[in-house]
Structure 1
Amino acid sequence: MTPDNISASAVNSLRVKSLLDEVPKTLIAKAVGMNRQVVARHLKSGDMRLSEFIKTAHALGADPVKVLADAVTEEKKKAPAATGAE
């Protein structure tokens, strides 16, 4: 479990939510204050600044703290399986 894995998992959760809820990237971009292409690139790469993450979560109606907590929990579940430890 690394910070990079956790942040990528959290951003991926937002990407999936945006796709499932069919939220246009232009709407997210307006809320975040950047253009649609940059938002799409950040969501796809799994990497964005914390302020962008929080604004994106709010634009999607998600609680950014819960999204991060869920990502930590998910990565903890993966960690023992990846190392073979229990």
Structure 2
Amino acid sequence: MIASANNAAASAVKSLRVKALLDEVPKTHIASKVGLNRMTVGKHLKSDDMSLSEFIKTAIALNANPAQVLAEAIESTQAKEKASAATDAEIK
């Protein structure tokens, strides 16, 4: 269960990182909205984890719905785990 939560969190942060890159949003813009410096924002976007408040602020800075980003990450993680479990069951 904890591994699943970690995977979902990493997926949600990755979604924000991808959105920032695709939308070409400068880290300085995100940093000013989040209240952190540019280097810290870059570090958080490169990692697989960030605090909930930073996640929400970052999502809002990117014009994304934080709840939707997280829900999609959880759904994706659960689908991958079900597929993996089905594959493991077929092998046995």
Q: Which TM-score tier does this pair reach, normalised by the shorter chain?
A: over 0.9
Residue identity matched to 1:8: A
Partner of 2:59: 57
Task: Report the identity percentage.
Answer: 59
Write out per-residue CA displacement over residues 19-38 of structure 1, whole angstroms, 9 at most, x where no aligned residue. 00000001001111011111
- After TM superposition, list the pairs within 5 Å mapping 1:64-83 onto structure 2: 64-83=66-85
- RMSD over aligned Cα atoms: 1.4
Question: TM-score under structure 1 normalisation?
Answer: 0.93
Question: TM-score under structure 2 normalisation?
Answer: 0.87
Offset at residue 85 of structure 1 (A): 4.6
With 47-56 and 74-83 compared, the bigger mean Cα shift is at 74-83
With 75-84 and 14-23 compared, the bigger mean Cα shift is at 75-84
Residues 24 and 78 (structure 1), Cα distance of their counterparts in 2 relative to 1, 3 Å cut: same
- After TM superposition, list the pairs within 5 Å mapping 1:5-24 onto structure 2: 5-24=7-26
Q: How many matched pairs?
A: 86
Residues 85 and 13 (structure 1), Cα distance of their counterparts in 2 relative to 1, 3 Å cut: farther
Runs of 4+ aligned residues of structure 1 deviating over 4 Å after TM superposition are none
Bigger Rg, structure 1 or 2: 2
Structure 2 residues not aligned, in runs of 5+: none
Equivalent-residue separation in structure 2 for 1:29 and 1:60 (angstroms): 11
